[in-house]
Structure 1
C-alpha cells in the first residue's frame, strides 16, 4: 500500500461520521456549536482508526514501512488529542436533565444528565494521559511489556467511554444511523486489538520455533538462530523484521522487534543480531538451545526487492547492521548485478560485527573512538563523512537504505535530501518510538 492510499483511506474513514451527520439535514446551530460537534466526531473517529493503524497489520506496515506507519500513528494521535481538547471548550449553556421534547433536533449543546457527561469528562482526562505516557515511555524507564498492556487497555477504555458519551450526549450520535456507525467503528477498533492480543497468538502457537544456536559476536552483541518446528518457516524479504518471543507463551507480551539478519535464500532458519540493551536483551547469552520461540512477522519495508536503482548504498549504525547483512547475503545468493556498498559505524572496534567478512566485501568502517592503529574512517556518519565517501553519481542515482540510531538516520536523511536525493530513494527503519 502506498502512503497516498493510506492517507486517502484514513481521511475517508475518519470523515465518514461527519459526512453522515451532514446528510441528516438538521437545522444548523451557531457555527461554534457545529465546530464543537465536528471536532468531537473527528477526534473519536481518528482514535478508532488509530487502532487499525497501530495493529501490526502487514498489509499496512509491509507496504509503506513501519517508519511511516508509526510516524502517522504519532502525528494523528496528537492531532486527535488536540481536537478532543478543543471540543468542549466551544460549547456554552446548559439544559435540565431528563427528556427534552422541546428540542427534537437536539439544538441544546450541553446535557446535565450525569452519566453522559461523566464518561466524556473521564475520557477527556484519560486521553492526554495516555498520549503523555507514550511520549515519556523512554525517559520513565518502565518495562515495554507493561507499557504496551497499559497503552492497549487504556485506548480501549477511552474508546468505550467516548462511545457512551457520543451516543447519549451528542446531538448527532443519538440518530439511529449515526449510532450504528459509531458502534460498528468501535467494534472494528476493538476487534483489531483482539486480533493482536488473542487471534495472532493462536496462529503463532500453531507454528512454533526453537532456538538452534546462540553465538556471541562482540562483547555485548549476540546472534540467535531460530528454526521452524513442524512448518515451512517464514516467507520474508531481506531487510524485514519480526517480533521475537523466546521462552514464553504465545500469548505473552514478552516480545521484541528485531531485524532478520539472514537472507531468504539461506533457508528456513532465521538469524537475529541482538545487542544487550534491556531486560530481555541482557539475558540473551543465557538462553539454552532448544528453547521454544514464536515469531510474528514479517514486518517492515526496508527491502531492495523490486527496486530499479542501479546501485544500493547501505548505511548502518551499531546493531542496525542486522538487516544489511540479510540484504547483502540475498544479493550475493541470487546473483543480483546491482552494485552494493556498505557504510558501517560504531563507537569502538570491538563492536564491529562480522568484521573480516564485511571488510572483505569493501565496507567503509567508521569509528568514533578508534584505536591508535585504526586505518579506517573516524568520527560519525555525518554530512562531512558522506561528502567524503559518496560520489556525485551515487547521490544522483543510488538507493539508500538506513538503519541505526535515530540521530544518525535523521542527519543522513537530511543531508541526502539537501544534496538532491529524493525521499523516495531513501529507505529507513526505526525501532525507537514514543
Structure 2
C-alpha cells in the first residue's frame, strides 16, 4: 500500500504544472505543439521530483524502502529524458521573428532569443550525460564520491537552466501563476539538496561518534564498531542502515551506506560488517580506534519488528549477512519467541564470518566452491535448497528476509511467490545509488 501512496503522490506532484497550464489555456495551437509543450512541462516537473526521490528522507525510506525509492528514481529519470528528447522535435509551424541560422527548417524555434533556447539545450545535454554516466558508472570505475559530486552539481545546474528556459522560452511558463509554481518547485528541489548536504551534517556535528574497534572477520571482511560521544546514540531497528563517515568533516561527501549488524538491545554501540570492495572499504583495516565518525540514519525498512508471523527466515549471501545478523542478534537478546532459520551463502569456507555465533542448528551454510572436507550444503541458494529447508505451511505463514547478490534475491523471491508466499511477507533491499 505504501509504494502505491508514493506513486500516487509522485504523479500528483509531477502533473500539477501540466494541470495548471491546461487551466490557464491560451490561443489554439496545433496538437503537436501542445503535445510538445506538455512533454516539456512533464519532463521538468519529473526532474524536480527526482531531487526528493534521491534525497535521504526517512519517512520515505522507512515507508517503502530505500531500494524501491532509488529504483523508482532511476526509472523516472530515464522517462524524463525521453520526454525531454521528444519535446523540441514535435514543434511545427512558423516561429516568431525571422529565420535563424541554428534552425533552417523553422520547426523548432518559438522565440527569437537564442539565450532562452540555449539554457534548454544545455539542460538536455546535461541530463543525457547524467543518465548515461549513471548507467555506466561501474564500467567507468570512478570513485563513488566523485560520482556523488558530479550528480549533485549536475542536477542543480539542470534545475536552474530549465527554470530559465521554461519561464523565458515556454508559452505557459511565462504566465505569472506558472512562474510562481515553477519557482516554488525548483526551490523545494534545491532545498532537498541543502537538507542532505548542509542541514543533516550541521545537526550531525552535535552527535559525533568514535571508532572503538576494528576487527578482521575474514581475509576481506571487517567489523567496525563506533560508540556515541556525548549523546545517547542511535534510535534504530535491527536490519536498518546508515551513511557512515569515518575520519572526515561532518560536511564531507566521503560517506558510504552500510547496514548495521549489531542489535539495538545490545547497547548504544553500533557495529558494521564491511567487505573490501571500493576505495574506502579497502582502507578499513587502517582505521585507528579513537577516529571521529558521523552517522546519518537510520534508513531502510528491512525490519521484522511488530510483525506477527510465527517464524522468520533470514537468507543472506556474502556481506548481505550484515542486516540479517542484526535481526538475529536482536531476536536472541530479546527472547523473541518466533522460530528463526538462517541460510548463509558464501563462495569458500574462509569467507564465512561469525562462525561461532552462527554455529547453531537453525543456521544452514552453503558454499559454491567447497573443499573436499566440507560437510555442509554446496552449490547456491536456489529453489531446490529452499524447498528442502521449508515446509508448505512455512512458505505461507513465515516472513522471509533476504539480502545479498541480486541474482540470489531474484531467484529466491520468484520461488517464494511460486510456493505461495504473499509478497508482503518477502522483505528485501537492493542498494544501487545512481
Instruction: Give the TM-score of the pair, scaled to structure 1.
Output: 0.95
1:223 touches 1:274 (CA, 8 Å); kept in 2? yes
What stretches of structure 2 of length at least 5 have no aligned partner?
99-107
The 1:415/1:118 distance shift into structure 2, 3 A limit, reads same
Match of 2:295 in 1: 295
1:246 touches 1:255 (CA, 8 Å); kept in 2? yes
Match of 2:189 in 1: 189
Match of 1:268 in 2: 268
1:406 touches 1:432 (CA, 8 Å); kept in 2? no
1:245 touches 1:256 (CA, 8 Å); kept in 2? yes
2:340 touches 2:362 (CA, 8 Å); kept in 1? no
> After the TM superposition, which of the residue ranges 297-306 and 391-400 deviates more from structure 2?
391-400
Task: Quote the Cα distance in structure 1 between the aligned partners of 2:25 and 2:86.
Answer: 25
Aligned length: 425
Match of 2:430 in 1: 430
Task: Quote the Cα distance in structure 1 between the aligned partners of 2:49 and 2:327.
Answer: 33
> After the TM superposition, which of the residue ranges 312-321 and 335-344 deviates more from structure 2?
335-344
Question: How big is the shift at 1:321?
Answer: 0.6
Are 2:173 and 1:134 equivalent residues in the alignment? no
Task: Quote the Cα distance in structure 2 between the aligned partners of 1:239 and 1:403.
Answer: 10
Match of 1:53 in 2: 53
2:70 touches 2:432 (CA, 8 Å); kept in 1? no
Provide, for residues 242-301 of structure 1, a one-character-per-residue CA deviation record: whole Å limited to 9, x for no partner: 010000111111111110001110111000001111111111111110000000100000
Match of 1:227 in 2: 227
1:109 touches 1:171 (CA, 8 Å); kept in 2? no
Match of 2:2 in 1: 2
Question: How big is the shift at 1:94?
Answer: 4.2
Question: How big is the shift at 1:338?
Answer: 1.1
2:241 touches 2:258 (CA, 8 Å); kept in 1? yes
Question: How big is the shift at 1:361?
Answer: 4.8
Task: Quote the Cα distance in structure 2 between the aligned partners of 1:408 and 1:30.
Answer: 52
Provide, for residues 324-358 of structure 1, a one-character-per-residue CA deviation record: whole Å limited to 9, x for no partner: 11101111222221111100000001111111221
1:309 touches 1:399 (CA, 8 Å); kept in 2? yes
SS in 2 for 1:129: helix
1:311 touches 1:394 (CA, 8 Å); kept in 2? yes
Provide, for residues 156-211 of structure 1, a one-character-per-residue CA deviation record: whole Å limited to 9, x for no partner: 10111111110011110000000000010001100100111111111111110000
- Taking only aligned residues, the RMSD between alpha carbons, in angstroms, comes to 1.4
Are 2:172 and 1:172 equivalent residues in the alignment? yes
Instruction: Give the TM-score of the pair, scaled to structure 2.
Output: 0.95
What stretches of structure 1 of length at least 5 have no aligned partner?
99-107
Provide, for residues 378-419 of structure 1, a one-character-per-residue CA deviation record: whole Å limited to 9, x for no partner: 001112222222221221111110101112112211221222
2:204 touches 2:294 (CA, 8 Å); kept in 1? yes
1:97 touches 1:113 (CA, 8 Å); kept in 2? no
Runs of 4+ in 1 over 6 A off after TM superposition: none
Match of 2:42 in 1: 42
SS in 1 for 2:394: helix
1:48 touches 1:159 (CA, 8 Å); kept in 2? yes
